[in-house]
Amino acid sequence: MRSKKYYSALDGLDSRNGDRTGIVFSGEMCYTWGSKLTDKWEFAKRRNRGGLLMKNVLLSADSEISVFSVPDKIADNLEKYCLEFCCHWLHESPDAAKYRVKMGDVVGACYSEKDFIDYLNQYICEEQSVLIATLADVFGEDGLPEEYIGLPYFNF
């Protein structure tokens, strides 16, 4: 019996550029078979599913720091987008009512960095931002592993 070798279009990409092709399904990373390993971190640093440039940023809300892959326009202006979210959108947008809580006579907002990513994905960018990793027991820039030093960082 003779066996046939089948190639998909993704396998062709692998053999031409030497990289594994990353595919995202429901936030999980899957790969086609290839000779060069590429992890979730490397894939997210380069491109999203639409081929647009993505960059990694660090976000926290007085908790452990998380690494997210966001569109480059967000990473390049991270403070601007974060401040727009927490200082304006959360308090003024009808879509943000679920984050508002009343404490006596004062109305505040209760949110996390993951809510900021949901805001980006739903209201600001077509390109979807994703969580890459949460850095266990890292609560500030002083404890950052070397590979994360220099990434844009915002603490809500």
pLDDT, tens digit, 9 for 90 and up, residues 106-123:
999 999 999 999 999 999
Residue 52's pLDDT band (boundaries 50, 70, 90)? low
**Structural domain for 77, as ranges:** 57-155
Beta strands, E only, the chain: 22-25, 28-31, 54-60, 66-71, 100-103, 106-109, 130-134, 153-155
In a domain, 74, yes or no: yes
In a domain, 113, yes or no: yes
Asked whether the whole model's pTM tops 0.85, one would answer no
In a domain, 83, yes or no: yes
SS3 state of residue 153? strand
pLDDT higher for 10 or 51?
A: 51
What residue spans of the chain are helical by DSSP H? 9-17, 40-46, 72-76, 78-83, 90-92, 113-119
In a domain, 34, yes or no: no
CA–CA gap between residue 141 and residue 12 (Å, rounded): 41
pLDDT, tens digit, 9 for 90 and up, residues 58-72:
999 999 999 999 999
In a domain, 25, yes or no: no
In a domain, 125, yes or no: yes
In a domain, 134, yes or no: yes
Residues paired with 68 in a beta bridge: 57, 131
In a domain, 84, yes or no: yes
Exposure string over 5-28, b if 16+ CB within 10 A, otherwise e: eeeeeeeeebeeeebbbbeeeeee
Tokens of 61: 């809300």
How many domains is the chain built from? 1
